[in-house]
């Protein structure tokens, strides 16, 4: 459905991207979330504090050793 939004005249905004990224990260699809982030930036949207927090949570919860 997300991919066909533009076909229906309803282009996704940064909020839509953030919700999809959040869904991918919560369901253990970090590569898909990263791809969507790159698409989001490629379409002119900036990663906001919400987007950054989603990825920071992934880092903190998946690899605590990088914080040491």
- Answer whether 0.85 is exceeded by the pTM: no
Residues of the chain with pLDDT under 50: 64-68
Query: In the numeric block, which tokens belong to residue 4?
Result: 């066909």
Domain boundaries, the chain: 2-64
> What pLDDT is attached to residue 65?
46
Alpha-carbon span 31 to 39, nearest angstrom: 12
- Residue 3's pLDDT is what? 65
Q: Is residue 45 a contact partner of residue 12, using CB atoms and an 8 Å limit?
A: no
Q: In Å, how far are 2, 4, 17, 25, 44 from 67, measured between CA atoms?
A: 34, 39, 27, 20, 31
| Amino acid 42: pLDDT | 93
What local confidence, expressed as pLDDT, does residue 32 receive? Answer: 92
Residue 68: predicted pLDDT? 41
């Amino acid at each position: 459905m997300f991919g066909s939004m533009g076909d229906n005249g309803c282009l996704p905004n940064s909020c839509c991207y953030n919700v999809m990224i959040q869904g991918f990260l919560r369901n253990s699809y970090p590569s898909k979330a990263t791809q969507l982030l790159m698409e989001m930036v490629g379409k002119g949207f900036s990663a906001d504090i919400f987007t950054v927090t989603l990825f920071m949570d992934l880092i903190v919860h998946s690899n605590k050793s990088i914080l040491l």
